[in-house]
Structure 1
Amino acid sequence: MIVGIGTDLCDIRRIQQTLDRKTLRFAEKVLGPNELLVFQQRLAKVPARGVRYLATRFAAKEAFSKAIGLGMRMPMTWRRCEILNAPSGRPEIRLHDELADWFAQHQWKAHVTVTDEVDHALAFVVVETL
């Protein structure tokens, strides 16, 4: 049974502007440790790919926070929710600390998809009962 659906559309240009103003502090605030490694690798190879990665993760976390009904309040935080790719390339949500415990208590499962095109990143999350 579906318990929540969330979506978010992010303007990649705004993410770039924020990075330009706040340097990498913005990425460090939004991304968890595993995501940060991927971001830094992509940014070093092709800067635009790094920015797109950050934008899709930002959108996915916003969508996830809507799907679980918390928004960005405890136990939901930017860094406790990571969107990482499975070996197949499929994005997956990995939760940490209090957020992982809270989510497990509800016995929910989350599905996420992300995409980006030119100036926008889009994420869609469905949360269902196990």
Structure 2
Amino acid sequence: MIAGIGTDLCDVRRIDAALRRHGLRFAQRILGPQEWAEFERRLATSSARAHRYLATRFAAKEALAKAIGLGMRHPMGWQACEVVSDPLGRPALQCHGALAAWLAQRQWQAHLSLTDEAHHALAFVVVEHQP
């Protein structure tokens, strides 16, 4: 049974502007440890690719916040979950701490789809109740 659906469209140019204004602190606020390591790898080769990566992670977390109905308030937070990929590149949400416990208590599992194109990053999250 579907418990919630969330989507977010992020303009990569807004992410570029935030990074210019706040520097890497902005990315560090959004990304978890695994995401940060990948962001740094991408940044070393292509800032545009790194900025699109950050935009997709930003959109994914916003979409999850909408799908679970909390917005960005406890236990949902920027670093309460990370976008990880399976060996074939399929994205998934890996939740931590209080958010993971909150989702488990409700028997909810989140499914994620991501895409990006030039100036836009899109995330779509379906939260499923799995008794």
Hey, what does 2:43 align to over in structure 1?
Answer: 43
In 2, Cα distance between equivalents of 1:51 and 1:84:
17
Amino acid at match of 2:33: P
User: If the length of structure 1 is used for normalisation, what is the TM-score?
Assistant: 0.98
Deviation at 1:50, TM superposition (A): 0.4
Amino acid at match of 1:30: I
When the two structures are aligned, how many residues end up with a matched partner? 130
Hey, what does 1:15 align to over in structure 2?
Answer: 15
Hey, what does 2:115 align to over in structure 1?
Answer: 115
Deviation at 1:45, TM superposition (A): 1.0
Listed as ranges, the matches of 1:1-130 within 5 Å are 1-130=1-130
Deviation at 1:91, TM superposition (A): 0.3
Output the aligned Cα RMSD: 0.6
Deviation at 1:118, TM superposition (A): 1.2
User: If the length of structure 2 is used for normalisation, what is the TM-score?
Assistant: 0.98
Amino acid at match of 1:45: T
In 2, Cα distance between equivalents of 1:12 and 1:126:
23
Amino acid at match of 2:7: T
Deviation at 1:59, TM superposition (A): 0.3
Amino acid at match of 1:38: E
In 2, Cα distance between equivalents of 1:70 and 1:32:
19
Deviation at 1:39, TM superposition (A): 0.6
- Gap runs ≥5 in structure 1: none
4+ aligned runs moved over 4 Å, structure 1: none
